[in-house]
Amino acid sequence: MSLPTGGRRRQLILSPQAQQGCAAACYHAGDRPPGHPRIVFIDAIELRILHLPLVRFFETSFGRTDERVLILVRVDGEGAVGWGECVADAHPFYSAETVRTAWHILSDYLVPAVLGRQFGHPREVGEALQFVRGHQMAKAALEMGAWDLAAQQAGVPLTRMLGGTRTAIASGVSIGIQPSLEELAERVALERAAGYQRVKIKIKPGWDVEAVSFLRQRFGDFPLMVDANAAYTVATSDRLRALDGFGLTMIEQPLDYDDIRDHATLQRALRTPICLDESITTVNRAEEAIALQACRVINVKPGRVGGHAASVALHDLCARHGIPVWHGGMLETGIGRAHNIHLASLPNFSLPGDIAASRRYFDPDLIDPPIEVRPDGTIPVPDAPGIGVIVVEERVASLTDEVLRLHA
């Protein structure tokens, strides 16, 4: 295998297995099989790394962030443009992927596998990336860019291509760990006044029972949930059992990221539903979690499962098993956020998601107008073609540290 090094056109020699997988799903430009509609032709891809300061720091059980470092993928085809955003963080704390691993996998493997090819449907783009094991966030960024491109080329909003049924989605907020309980209460009051339909707070051992009990005393009964980001173990799960009496709508990812079995044991001991986030990296893992009754709710993040097609499959699987889903968030810019809104328009997204207004994260956002939440806590699904938002390219350019352009 020859691994490219430079920033110019790259070549990758795929294994026979990978070539076969690709040949089944895609065609070189010009050799379209008769009668096969050509929906996506990808003639150029641009990768960029951007740094964006967050309006306010965001703290979880794995640490505090003041800025988002992210990769944007621009996919060009026949005059149309699609955008994808990679949710990998600078550090391997939420997941094993980082901005640098995603850059490596995108530029050396994924982009060469789709450049200059035409696809009958954007889901085939995801299939053409399956020869790489894992690296869901890198795959999702490219695959989602291709979905936007396909919807732009077809002149329809992405929701229509994904099978969405709602014209607006229910919005909730995720509030990070705060310096004090009083500051936490201030933030909760602010977000509730803005209309958000449910509040999630981040917890960790030492910032859990006290925080929840404080909020219940202050605000009484309102839709409240907690997210531990895998900060507990079976040995410290007494603190989770202590949360069981507060009427939380769910406890998100209390135990380790790859631990389905202990979540099943814990769920048996709790009345409060467990929602899995980090643990669900594939549709297979979700089937396993459902079979073992490790959770009663699942959070869908397209970056975590490899893109829109896998997210739709995960959504459908959960619907068949009576497991409600909601859309998670990864501090996305308006580009990733717009993708999430379209995906969250599918019918089994029956709980408010972590998809909030742009202004909670970035000011200005990379899109203009930014995403706003209406006083009733809903966000309308854009009805323009593709993701249906306007990317401010000058802003993107001015925040870019590194760019790689690849042509067919």
- Pairing outcome for strands 80-86 and 117-119: unpaired
Binding residue (CB under 5 A) for Mg ion from 89, 277, 332, 365:
277
Site for ligand OSB, residues 139 to 178, rule: CB under 6 A: 174
Under rule CB under 6 A, which residues in 374-403 are in contact with ligand OSB?
none
> What secondary structure letter does DSSP report for 205?
T
- Closest chain position to ligand OSB (CB): 329
Report residue 37 CA to chain centroid gap.
29
Q: What is the DSSP string of 241-299?
A: HHGGGG--S-EE--S-TT-HHHHHHHHHH-SSPEEESTT--SHHHHHHHHHTT--SEEE
Rule CB under 5 A: which of 11-50 touch Mg ion?
Answer: none
Look up 202 and say whether it is catalytic. yes
How far, CA to CA in Å, does 387 sit from each of 125, 162, 331, 390, 408?
17, 11, 17, 9, 24
Segment contacting ligand OSB by CB under 6 A, of 27-35, 179-187, 208-216, 324-332: 324-332
Query: 106 vs 280, which CB is nearer to ligand OSB?
Result: 280
Q: Which of 328, 382, 386, 388 binds ligand OSB (CB under 6 A)?
A: 328
**Least Å distance between CB 94 and ligand OSB?**
4
Q: Is 329 in the site for ligand OSB (CB under 6 A)?
A: yes
Neighbours of 207 (CB within 10 A): 19
- Residue 330 interacts with ligand OSB (CB under 6 A)? yes
CA angle 83, 350, 369 (to 5 degrees): 35
Q: Among residues 122, 228, 226, 246, which one has the least CA distance to residue 172?
A: 226
Judged by CB, which is closer to ligand OSB: 115, or 226? 226
Told to judge if 301 belongs to the known catalytic residues of this protein, a careful annotator would answer yes
Residue from the set 46, 76, 85, 227 that interacts with ligand OSB by CB under 6 A: 227
**Interface mask (CB under 6 A) for ligand OSB, residues 83-122, using x and -?**
-----------x----------------------------
Q: 3-state DSSP call for residue 340?
A: helix
Q: How far is the CB of 174 from ligand OSB (least distance, A)?
A: 4
Q: Are 406 and 44 in contact (CB under 8 A)?
A: yes
Question: Is 46 a binder of ligand OSB (CB under 6 A)?
Answer: no
- Reduce the DSSP state of residue 178 to 3 states and report it: coil
| 59 near Mg ion (CB under 5 A) | no
CB of 299: closest distance to Mg ion in angstroms?
Answer: 6
d(CA 200, CA 208): 12
Instruction: Please report how close the Cβ of residue 356 comes to ligand OSB at its closest, in angstroms.
Output: 6
Which member of 277, 318, 352, 362 binds ligand OSB (CB under 6 A)?
277
Window 197 to 256, contacts with Mg ion (CB under 5 A):
227, 252
The beta strands (E) that lie in 87-242 are given as: 117-119, 168-170, 173-175, 199-202, 224-227
Enumerate residues 6+ apart whose C-beta is below 8 A from 322: none
Which stretches of the chain bind Mg ion, using CB under 5 A? 227, 252, 277
Residues at the site binding ligand OSB, with contacts judged by CB under 6 A:
94, 174, 227, 229, 277, 328-331, 354, 356
Give the residue numbers annotated as catalytic, written as ranges: 202, 301
